[in-house]
Amino acid sequence: MSLNVLWCSTTGADAAAQASKGEAKTASGLEPELALRVETDPDRALEHRGWYEVLVDGSPSPKLLDARGLKHVIVPFVGISDALRENLLARPRLKLYNSHFNDAFVAQHAVALLLAIANRIVPADRGLRGGDWTQGGSSTPESFFLEGKTALLLGYGAIGQALEGRLRGLGLGLSALRRNPRQDPGMRTYGPDELHQALAGADVVIASLPATPETRGMLDAAAFGAMRTGSILVNVGRGDVVEEAALFEALRSRKLFGAGLDVWWTYPKKGERERTLPSSLPFHDLDNVVMSPHRANEVQGWHEASFRDVAETLNAIARGESRNRVEPSRGY
Strand order in the sheet with 95-97: 34-38, 3-7, 54-56, 72-74, 95-97, 325-326
pLDDT surpassing 60 at residue 57: yes
> Which pLDDT score, from 0 to 100, does residue 312 have?
96
> CA quadruple 301, 307, 308, 313: dihedral positive or negative?
positive
Residue 190's DSSP bridge partners are 177
Tell me what the pLDDT averaged over the chain comes to: 94
CATH code given to domain 103-291: 3.40.50.720
**Mean pLDDT on 76-100:** 94
> Which pLDDT score, from 0 to 100, does residue 185 have?
78
pLDDT surpassing 80 at residue 139: no
Provide the 10 A C-beta neighbour count for residue 231: 24
pLDDT surpassing 70 at residue 268: yes
328 vs 137, which has greater pLDDT? 328
pLDDT in tens, 58-87: 999 999 999 999 999 999 998 899 999 999
pLDDT surpassing 80 at residue 180: yes
Return the SS3 of 315.
helix
> Which pLDDT score, from 0 to 100, does residue 134 have?
87
Name the pLDDT band for 179 (thresholds 50, 70, 90): confident
Asked if 135 contacts 122 with a C-beta cutoff of 8 angstroms, the reply is no
Q: Letter for the amino acid at 182? A: R
72 vs 29, which has greater pLDDT? 72
pLDDT surpassing 90 at residue 101: yes
Q: What percent of the chain has pLDDT over 90?
A: 86
Secondary structure (DSSP) of 59-99: S--HHHHT-TT--EEE-SSS---HHHHHHHHT-TTSEEE--
CATH code given to domain 3-101+300-326: 3.40.50.720
pLDDT surpassing 60 at residue 42: yes
> Which pLDDT score, from 0 to 100, does residue 20 have?
83
Residue 34's DSSP bridge partners are 3
139 vs 169, which has greater pLDDT? 169
pLDDT surpassing 90 at residue 327: yes
Residue ranges, CATH 3.40.50.720, the chain = 3-101+300-326, 103-291
**Mean pLDDT on 306-321:** 95
